[in-house]
Amino acid sequence: MGQPRVETSRQVSDEVRKTTCYMCACRCGINVHLTSGKVTYIEGNRDHPVNKGVLCAKGASGIMQVTAPSRLRAPLRRVGPRGSGAFEEITWEEALETAVSWLKPLREEAPEKLAFFTGRDQSQSFTGWWAQQFGTPNYAAHGGFCSVNMAAAGIYTIGGAFWEFGQPDWAHTKLFVLFGVAEDHDSNPIKIGIGKLKARGAKVIGVNPVRTGYNAVADEWVGITPGTDGLLILSLIHCLLEAGKIDLDYLARWTNAPLLVNSAEGPEKGLILKNAESQPFVIDKRTGMPAPWDGAGVQPDLGAVWQGHRTVFQHMAERYLSEDYAPEAVAARCGVPAGRIRALAAEMARVAFDEAFELPVEWVDFRGDRHASMTGRPVSFHAMRGISAHSNGFQTARALHLLQILLGTVEVPGGYRLKPPYPKPVEAHPTPHFVAAPGKPLSGPHLGYVRGPENLALKEDGTPWRIDKGFTWENPFSAHGLMHMVIPNAHAGDPYKVDTLFLYMANMSWNSSMNSARVMEMLTDKGEDGEYVIPRIIYSDAYASEMVAYADLILPDTTYLERHDCISLLDRPISEPDAAGDAIRWPVVEPDRDVRGFQSVLLDLGVRLGLPGMVNPDGTAKFKDYADYMVNHIRRPGVGPLIGFRGADGAAEGRGEANPDQLARYIENGGFYQAHVPEGAAYMKPWNAAYQDWAVATSFYETPQPYLFSIWSEPMRKFQLAAEGQGFLQPPDHLRERLKLAMDPLPVWYAPFGEEAGEDFPVHAITQRPMAMYHSWGSQNAWLRQIHGKNYLYVPTAIWEGQGFEEGDYARVTSPTGEIVVPVAHMAALNRDTVWTWNAIGKRRGAWALDEGAAEANQGFLLNHLISEVLPGAGRVSNSDPVTGQAAWFDLRVRVERVGPRDVAEPVFDTLPRVVPKGRGRA
Amino acid sequence: MHPAPSVILFTVLSGAGFGFLALLGVFGASGTAAFFLWGLGYGMAVAGLVSSAFHLGNPRRALLAFTQWRTSWLSREAWASVIALGLFAPQALADWLGFDWGQGFWGQGFWGRGFGIAGAVMAGVTVFASAMIYAQIRAVPRWHHWTVPLVFLAYWATGGVVLAGVAPLALPALCVLGGVLALHWHFGRHAFARAAETMESATGLGRIGAVSVFEQPHTGGNYLLREMIHVVGRKHAERVRMIAMVCSVMLPAMALAWLGGVTGAVLAALTHLLGALAQRWLFFAEAEHVVGLYYGQRGAGVASGSGGRAR
Amino acid sequence: MTGLPERTEKKLGLVIDLDTCVGCHACVTACKGWNDQGYGAPLSDQNPYGADPSGTFLNRVHSYAVQPDEMPAQIINFPRSCLHCEEAPCVTVCPTGASYKRAEDGIVLVNEDACIGCGLCAWACPYGARELDQAAGVMKKCTLCVDRIYNEALPEEDREPACVRTCPTGARHFGDFADPESKVSRLTAEREGFVLMPGMGTKPVNRYLPPRRKDRPEEASLLAPLLDIRAGGLAGWLDRVLGKI
């Protein structure tokens, strides 16, 4: 008998449709294979700029998401008590009319009574615009509990951030240092990059309490104590300064290091010294006299003292040369030996300066100075939630940017490169808009970058305009809002009560809230009048998440393969350092249920409410649906949601009139578009005239916006001045001291507020995202839940042995806020004072169409129950970064005690009534 | 290894059945007794074979198992069993129906039992092939040992004579079986260690340091965990070992020696079979497959190291 | 068919780089996705939304803690799938000839039409490379994507196993080990690729590249302070530093 003949050339499918993944926030390109009209296989799109053909575990399991039994099937109206899960199916007409009957009076009388917050929304420029047209100041997405420290610190310092808004120069970097990067955003690009570094043997250093994932492949691991990254970074800066290993030329030319700091006592103390034209200036080394900061040929003197005013450079050096930042002084606190800190600094300096190289690219800077080449400094950094989700996260992120700047490694070959539309300085961003008036739209976008106390969203009586108290003295730079405070504040009526809470894709009664159990109570709490404290809740989601049971009206969304979406340059594009890029999703299959894409529903509501921009003068709909909006909406003249194939002939890029064939052209092109940065403009973008001109042409800004990196942050100093008593706008007294501390114009480290828990809670507790799960979504996926169906609390050796833990044991984990009882496992590659677990594996029984006996609902658990949404003490101050309002998830301090073997984790909640039937077999 | 009832039943029943058949083949029986005795032997052997089919994912294709006799012990077992059953058939008919060429070993000369003796040899080959299915598997060090065919053959021979209640043959056979079992368990105890496969060699990471499981590849179940990384039974190993020795060797010996007669024979047969079942259960349950190393399951009583969990 | 081929023309297999694998499980579900609709029966799942979900996967990623002497513990991610052994014990034990090693390229395959699901091949494999599908009752294993690597309906660049194509870090490489110039052969030579459990005598084709040396002992500063700033103060420091321009 011979070998059987194997069919090796079978046709894979009938058709391939190319769209954008939504199994996480990465937005990779995917090839969706269809056979007889059904999705049969999903793989990465090789031509796509984000993933270049590769796809992660989540993306490749998308086929199990579009068939998941947890999918909602039709609009629902609550008929029993809230949280009881008693719903009736209604028609879309009924659903929309119900929503309109709630929203229309609000708009006419008090638009701020609508709080509209979107979770994992990838259409924020649209949802924000809708909220703006409605006229409520209460809009934001989930950035406040996700990334705003990182985003804001980046914008205020270098005009662009970590996260997915920039990336190391993978082609040239020789040393890559990750601070607190777990698998979360930009995951495939980072993995591709690390793969490139590994292929050529470049060095990777991971600074993280936990050695998993990227840190597991790092050549060196620095197992830092959570919340002390800023201190470590400032100590590295101390070492570099001490040794003179800083890029003086870079500092003098591209940063505000040579600007002068006003030293005169009074309202201007600490602000950047300005000339008669209100322009900052430098002292020219050639003349010793003041010269314009952007003057051609000027050689700024970093060491200048002008009429007693010293340069930013001197202030900075003075601070960080202090022995307070010596490695020996910080080692114990950081959990990193002093020798190790010095060795790290040495390694960074060696690569930055001894392995510097010249890239033979001619360019002209904004001063008009011509350069024959670009100097490469092949050290690059990346950071994410690990440093961001602390109450000192903003300053820590700023410290890291300062480290990059001192080494001269931002926007240079081999360093960290921003992706268009970044770099973009604070000045090019809007300020917040928040003034609500009956029947009127807001005058501009909600979210923006505050320049000083005058931009705060405070009413004349000093109370907040926004329900989340965004842009107030509590968190002045809350550029993403504070979604985590919306329900607690609305429940407390602080600063006021709302009528309707409208949420999209945010699991606020479970893993997306601090203190989830309390939030469930807030959602079901009734006032003395017998009415719910939060009277109405509209929720849109595609799946039967834990939040669904708490809504009054459910607007079922489609899955990502059944919808239009727009990954726009107006919010969160898919650019690369070498190209601006945007993308679409389109319905590669039609929904088999009575569901509608949320954005189209929002437009429909907009028409029914008569919102400006959404209706024609005759009251008819301006846009048929979201797809129509994507093509025909005009944000600024010639600028719409998509930059590609604009103009009547589809040949225009960036600017141009709407093109009715635009979506067809996108689909033809694989679902995305790229506008390539011209050669010679790829690096030094903030100062590179060629880049600035291209950015204007491509619509990112209206005029060139060259700027200096802000080592010294003037907006911050303005708040510090106010806290010191200067100026008309004054903070409340209970916030003065923390403003003085947190709004330091130079990066500073202070202990995270969580430390106030005291000695009874000696252990840090943090979470990480598993690479194969995205938030709560993975558990409904037949394949992914087999990989991560339950989670353990990983415990370091000292605690494991100290408590006498054994395999199968559970631990009682206690924080000042609550207590959980959870399964433990030992991990040696872990900071000695830290425990951690995978995020959002724990599920509530009855949710996500899972069986009551599912491991996720029995052994799986959340740390959320241990985290308070407010800080101890009076005033309901949110447990957030005092600068940005970023939720301080990772400040959590706990105590861990052995309780022996158990079967079920605690707390246990009642089983959620089912809004969809329990899943059986695979579809 | 997972002690699947179908496979335990199969090996015990067919082992004892073929032993009994072999005895009948050599010594014969006559008349109605022959019908029932041959029937019992055939019944057990065939029931065992049928039971083995329950272990198959696709029993409908079972006939294909005859094709690979050149390399596969399972295939050889299939052939041997069919040949043995075929060879026994004329002898059984002759015994039952009283054909004169088949009357008794002593009465009609050696060739009078030619088919029976050939069948007995093939029955032995069948049991040996069964044993080799396990003994050939290097990935299960406890099985990969010359004592395994010895144990199977010892049970085969003992089973036959115990079922037949022939005390003079059974008592020495039981003694041999006891010795073989002791030997098998003795070598089994350190078989895994002798194979010298560890988590370090399984992963090749021993060059860096001591290896333990940080996180399992899946929290859900899979075939490997159920089939090859069965750990539930291991903690009962000592007790079951005792039961196996007492039931399959000591009790039958006592029953035959002291009780005697039909009662003694029946009791001996029942306890022996019970003991064989216990031994066979243990044979699977305490056999560790090296794939367990990947899951940090290094065997009974050995901690799986930092963070190691079955699931 | 009953035995292993004397020699195979090619030795197709994988190189898995343990220095690079971040343990993301991309290869796990990419493999599941492809083979769920590819060669042979789909890869079924039992109780996919139930209390004890279970399913057939042809590739699994383990994660190990490794504790060196005197150095911090490491975590090494470790993908495990069929190694397409030269002396494949799973092939010779098969009673039906369903399991075989292809003479042309060395791929170990299961002819599902002939598989009776006895499970013996899975027992014989030291590496846990085979899982018996509970719905189809046939043995499933890595096919090295035999229906991709020669598939003329696919673009040339896609003719590689699904796990290799999807791996975001590029930690998986596919090629012919019989060709000393192939990428897999070169990587194996350069990075000292090793085989798993050589003592089992299976002669695996797949190779694993060991993690590079990690961490280093604490050492004294390599970065000498420019001068004693305590003596010179900030002014002295500025003079020294800025004198450099």
pLDDT (tens digit per residue) in C30-43: 999 999 999 999 99
Q: What class has domain C12-209?
A: alpha beta
Q: Indicate whether B160 belongs to any domain.
A: no
Domains A162-421 and A754-901 share a fold: no
Among A838, A892, A880, residue whose Cα is nearest residue A861: A838
Q: Answer yes or no: are the C-beta atoms of A218 and A204 closer than 8 Å.
A: yes
Q: Answer yes or no: are the C-beta atoms of C98 and C112 closer than 8 Å.
A: yes
For chain B, the average pLDDT equals 88
**Would you place residue B52 in the very low, low, confident or very high pLDDT band (cuts 50, 70, 90)?**
confident
- Our CA dihedral for A393, A395, A398, A402, rounded to 10 degrees, sits at -130
> Which chain A residues are closer than 8 Å to B217 by Cβ?
787
Report pLDDT digits (tens) over A453-488.
Answer: 999 999 999 999 999 999 999 999 999 999 999 999
The one-character DSSP state at C213 is P
Q: How far apart are CA A792 and CA B215, in angstroms?
A: 10
Among A822, A911, A809, A901, residue whose Cα is nearest residue A863: A822
CA dist list (Å): C204 to B125, C83, C87: 33, 5, 8
| HSE, side-chain direction, 13 A CA sphere, residue A504 | 23
H/E stretch holding A192 reads: helix A187-199
- Is B205 in Cβ contact with C18 (below 8 Å)? yes
Residue B107, domain extent: 1-136
Q: How far apart are CA C211 and CA C215, in angstroms?
A: 12
- Is A829 in Cβ contact with B214 (below 8 Å)? yes
Q: Indicate whether B152 belongs to any domain.
A: no
Split into its structural domains, chain B has a count of 2
How much is the pLDDT for B304?
34
- Is A244 in Cβ contact with C226 (below 8 Å)? yes
Chain A, residues 212-241, CB within 8 A of chain B, namely 212
Tell me: do B7 and B88 sit in the same domain: yes
CB pairs under 8 A between A and C: 287
Report pLDDT digits (tens) over A731-740.
Answer: 999 999 999 9
What percentage of chain C reaches a pLDDT higher than 70?
Answer: 92
The one-character DSSP state at A93 is H
Tokens of A896: 């861990």
- A162-421 CATH, one of 2.40.10.10, 3.20.20.80, 3.30.70.2740, 3.40.228.10: 3.40.228.10
- Measure B175 CA to nearest chain C CA, in Å: 32
A633 — alpha (psi -120 to 50), left (phi > 0) or beta? Answer: beta
Crossing angle of helices B261-285 and B237-245, rounded to 10°: 150
Q: Answer yes or no: are the C-beta atoms of A59 and A22 closer than 8 Å.
A: no
- Is B217 in Cβ contact with A807 (below 8 Å)? no
How much is the pLDDT for A887?
96
Chains that touch B (3 or more CB pairs under 8 A): A, C
b/e per residue A898-920 (b: at least 16 CB within 10 A)? beeeeeebbeebeebeebbebbe
| HSE, side-chain direction, 13 A CA sphere, residue A824 | 30
* Mutate: best of A35, A54, A200, partner C, most C CBs <10 A: A54
Q: Answer yes or no: are the C-beta atoms of A438 and A189 closer than 8 Å.
A: no
> Which chain C residues are closer than 8 Å to B138 by Cβ?
89, 124, 126, 200-201
What residue of A is the nearest CA neighbor of C152? Answer: A9
3-class state of residue A762 by DSSP:
coil
Q: Evaluate if residue B84 carries a pLDDT over 60.
A: yes
- Measure C181 CA to nearest chain B CA, in Å: 25
Q: Evaluate if residue B300 carries a pLDDT over 80.
A: no
- Say how many C-beta atoms besides its own lie within 10 A of residue B47's C-beta: 15
* C201 in reach of chain B (CB within 8 A): yes
Chain B, residues 214-243, CB within 8 A of chain C, namely 214-218, 220-224, 227-228
Q: Answer yes or no: are the C-beta atoms of C153 and A9 closer than 8 Å.
A: yes
A491 CB contacts (<8 Å, ≥6 apart)? A522, A523, A525, A533, A534
- Is A787 in Cβ contact with B307 (below 8 Å)? no
Report pLDDT digits (tens) over A610-667.
Answer: 999 999 999 999 999 999 999 999 999 999 999 999 999 999 999 999 999 999 999 9
Tokens of A915: 């809004």
How much is the pLDDT for B112?
72
What residue of B is the nearest CA neighbor of A808? Answer: B309
Domain extents in chain A: 162-421, 754-901
Nearest to C67 among B57, B204, B209 (CB): B209
3-class state of residue A836 by DSSP:
strand
Tokens of B250: 């000591």
Residues of chain A with pLDDT under 50: none
Q: How far apart are CA A653 and CA C225, in angstroms?
A: 52
Tokens of A116: 């509209």
Residue A206 phi, psi dihedral angles, 5° rounding: -110, 125
Q: For every residue of A627-670, which 3-state class applies, written as one string?
A: HHHHHHCCCECCECCCCCCECCCCCECCCCCCCCCHHHHHHHCC
Chain C, residues 133-162, CB within 8 A of chain B, namely 133-134, 136-139
Chain A, residues 816-835, CB within 8 A of chain B, namely 825-829
CA dist list (Å): C226 to A242, A318, A321, C221: 6, 15, 12, 13
* B110 in reach of chain C (CB within 8 A): no
Among A63, A700, A337, residue whose Cα is nearest residue C30: A63
- Say how many C-beta atoms besides its own lie within 10 A of residue B70's C-beta: 12
3-class state of residue A77 by DSSP:
strand
3-class state of residue C1 by DSSP:
coil
Q: Indicate whether B141 belongs to any domain.
A: no
- Is A43 in Cβ contact with C166 (below 8 Å)? yes
Has this prediction a pTM greater than 0.90? Answer: yes
Q: Evaluate if residue B306 carries a pLDDT over 50.
A: no
Tell me: do B232 and B97 sit in the same domain: no
CA dist list (Å): A590 to A255, A594, A802, A874, B96: 52, 11, 57, 53, 74
Chains that touch A (3 or more CB pairs under 8 A): B, C
Report pLDDT digits (tens) over B64-74.
Answer: 999 999 999 99
Tokens of A282: 């430098």
User: What kind of architecture, by CATH, is found in domain A754-901?
Assistant: Beta Barrel (2.40)
The one-character DSSP state at A688 is B
- Is B306 in Cβ contact with A797 (below 8 Å)? yes
Q: Evaluate if residue B303 carries a pLDDT over 70.
A: no
* A836 in reach of chain B (CB within 8 A): no
- B interface with A, Cβ–Cβ below 8 Å: 67, 214, 217-220, 303-304, 306-309
Q: How far apart are CA A441 and CA A294, in angstroms?
A: 39
How much is the pLDDT for A536?
98
How much is the pLDDT for C226?
58
How much is the pLDDT for A2?
75
Q: Answer yes or no: are the C-beta atoms of A597 and A99 closer than 8 Å.
A: no
The amino acid sitting at B280 is R
What residue of A is the nearest CA neighbor of C51? Answer: A854
- Say how many C-beta atoms besides its own lie within 10 A of residue B211's C-beta: 26
Q: Evaluate if residue B309 carries a pLDDT over 50.
A: no
Q: Residue A365 pairs with which residues in a beta bridge?
A: A688
- Measure B56 CA to nearest chain C CA, in Å: 5
Residues of chain C with pLDDT under 70: 1-2, 217-231, 244-245
